Amino acid sequence: MNRFTRFSSWAVLAGTLTVGASAASAQQQLIEASKNPGQWVMPGRTYDLQRHSPLKQITTANVKDLQVAWTFSTGVLRGHEGNPLVIGHVMYVHSAFPNKVFALDLSKPGAPQIWQFTPEQPADVIPIACCDVVNRGLAYSPKYDRLFIELLSGDLLALDAKTGKQVYRVKSADYKKGETMTNAPLVVGDVVVTGISGGEFGVRGRVTAFSAVDGKELWRGYSTGPDKDVLITANTLKSPYPSDQGTDLGVSTWQGDQWERGGGTTWGWYSYDPDLNLFYYGSGNPGVWNPDQRPGDNKWSMSLWARNPQTGEVKWVYQMTPHDAWDYDGVNEMVLFDKDGKKLLAHFDRNGFGYTLDRTTGKVLVAEPYGPVNWATKIDLTTGRPVEDPSKRTNAKGNTQGICPAAIGFKDQQPSSYDPETGLFFVPTNNICMDYEGVEVKYSAGQPYVGAIVRMFPGPGGNRGAVIAWDPMKGKIVWKDQENLAAYGGTMNTAGGVVFYGTMEGWLKAVDAKTGKLLWEFKTPSGIIGSPMTYVGPDGKQYVAVLSGIGGWAGIGVAAGIGAEDPTAGLGALGAFGDAGHYSNQGGVLTVFALPGAAKP
């Protein structure tokens, strides 16, 4: 059977799963779908979020010959994060607000549109989004042949993948209280797990699960509050760290009722281990950036979580940055990998440390800086807590200067990737530091609840970003490719030995996974803050696709038209990226690449 026949057979299967007599569970169907190397059926391709493709038509030797195959405009000019999905012969593309969804026919020249859906949303949700009106992508259920997207205004939307018709739309968040939704959902069997944004509006962070069948809410687990709200139970593992042990720490580590507006939002990426039946995610900053207003560890903000997707029950939780004073959101992805018989995960936190944990217990095995960190000297592996430099702890008594990293972190939402062959992670990073001054602020529902003045600026060396190769067992950088602006798009690596990533100037680059040597680059219409992906078309050829459209926190000046006169504007981003408009204009274009000629057997 040739490659085209295999792919076409799968396309037929994907379209008939909902009516077939398969005895496989909904969860197993999605796992099996992700094993097809020609498809990309989840945000990270597979549940582990490795963003590694087994495809190898495109190699280090021939990637220099890549050329544009076709393009597609979303018609939206804001930040485009995430990546398309490819299921059978159809590509599904999402946009920034108003969160359009498109189905494109890959079997026809130029991939014409099959359908598009534009959900109605109120325009007054736009200023509620703290750092651009982005969306990180779609989730798919093969059992029901449905797509799921979280809408900025706070709803979970389910669409029929064949027709684009709405199946249901259910409310999960209230934007009038400052709650928005930007992350990609996670589908596990008949469960759809969603997150929430709004840490700068004093919201109470949570994850909420809905039925893939009818949208009924199944459970809700909060980041703060009593154990019964957080869903910490008698089955939750005892933390190996004393400061994470105890009852109702989500209340007792706050002053008074501050936990009720305590942040800990959940807008990052979600991974899942089918063997352990646990999904993993991080929670963000505690409510109000001024640390003087919320004494205590402020649990469970800034934490890594493992939960049961069917019940929401917490298996373990580990707080990385107690009593955060820098806005080091802990939402970045947790990539699952196995090494020497151990089930591990890696997490590159905004606080500048790269963590390797035992994902069965939450115990930290490695924690080393992947950038020039100066707010802490190390992570104490005995206590699990950072050893801080007191001179870099911010407060409302003055302006604390020269803190590295800045609030945007040495890495923000842009996802890393993992190569199981080399055992290396490819991490897109920022090199930004800051001055930070806490200010008194009062809470009012639906109004900004920040409480800090931040000015960001380039870190040591002057370059504002880099892509690094990271050894997760040694906690060491193997190679580094510096970038002028932040490397604010995700990475993707392939069995062909190539790592792809985009830049804020709009370059899609291909580098050698072993050395970081630049092999190829192409200038797309706008800055790239999305993530590359790859698939096999019905013609048997390997394609690479990426969304361009500058925005996000780093590109908010261009995306929202904010001038660079005030370096503290955009929550401090304009101080570091006020010149981004010199390098890129607004956009919203998907660019797809392939090697010339017919597919080679």
- For residue 468, give the amino acid letter: I
Where are the domains positioned within the chain? 3-53+61-594
pLDDT in tens, 24-42: 488 899 999 999 999 999 9
Q: Is 373 strand, coil or helix?
A: coil
Per-residue pLDDT at 3: 33
Query: How many CA atoms lie within 13 Å of 295's alpha carbon, on the beta-carbon side?
Result: 2
Q: What angle do CA 292, 289, 458 make, to 5 degrees?
A: 120
Give dist(CA 286, CA 265) in Å, integer. 8
DSSP strand pairing (491-494 vs 52-53): parallel
Nearest alpha carbon to residue 354 among 239, 432, 470, 265: 470
Helical ranges in 64-103 per DSSP H: none
- Contact (CB, 8 A) for 323 and 296: yes
Query: Which residues of the chain fall below pLDDT 70?
Result: 1-24, 601
In the CATH hierarchy, which top-level class contains the domain 3-53+61-594?
mainly beta
Structure tokens at 475: 């906690």
Mark whether 248 is an active-site residue. Answer: no
16-25 CB contacts, 8 Å cutoff, 24+ apart:
17/142, 17/143, 17/145, 18/142, 18/143, 18/144, 18/145, 25/189
Per-residue pLDDT at 599: 79
Q: Is 301 strand, coil or helix?
A: coil
Q: In sequence order, what are the beta bridge partners of 65?
A: none
- Contact (CB, 8 A) for 542 and 595: yes
**pTM for the whole structure:** 0.95
- Kind plus residue range of the DSSP H or E element containing 367: strand 364-369
pLDDT in tens, 399-445: 999 999 999 999 999 999 999 999 999 999 999 999 999 999 999 99
Catalytic residue among 48, 190, 327, 412: 327
Q: Is 321 strand, coil or helix?
A: coil
